[in-house]
Amino acid sequence: MRKYKIYDPRNEKVFIAVILALLLAFLIWYHVGKNRSPEVLLFQLPLFVILFLIQPKDVRLHDDDILEYRQYIKNKWQKPISVQQITSYQQDAKNKNKLTIVYYREQLRGSWTICLSEKDVDDLVSELVRRNPAIIKQ
């Protein structure tokens, strides 16, 4: 099984900002000292919600040719697709990290747009084409 981490630099920047805001809120709460105000804790609540929404995601390619997209915290999965159901892929011209995979499942067309690192995009595409040579590049 190969695992490809979703690449989203915006999430990383927001994550660092939230961690710094939590640290600042904790320091304010700690230094207020004896008058520990609950309002500071109310300030921290939206930060925890943001951390919950920014969650790690990955794409997994199993040995039995199943491709799945997973979000960790919510344990939410897109319905897995078989490599044999994939008909084509398209790599964005401006953003080399963005990959769109087109598939047909139960006579319906669908697509996944995922962002991976450039190396992971190349590895995933080469592995998909190796397992299903009928996949074409658009």
- Kindly report the average pLDDT of the chain as a whole number: 79
Burial class of residue 82 (count of CB atoms within 10 Å of its CB; 0-12, 13-18, 19+)? middle
Q: Taking the complete model, does pTM exceed 0.95, yes or no?
A: no
Does the structure show a pLDDT above 60 at 49? yes
In this prediction, residue 132 carries a pLDDT of 92
Q: Angle 60-104-84 (CA atoms, 0-180°, nearest 5)?
A: 55
32 SS3 class? helix
Secondary structure letter of residue 15 according to DSSP: H
Beta strands 81-82 and 66-71, pairing class: antiparallel
- Rounded mean pLDDT, 95-123: 88
In this prediction, residue 85 carries a pLDDT of 93
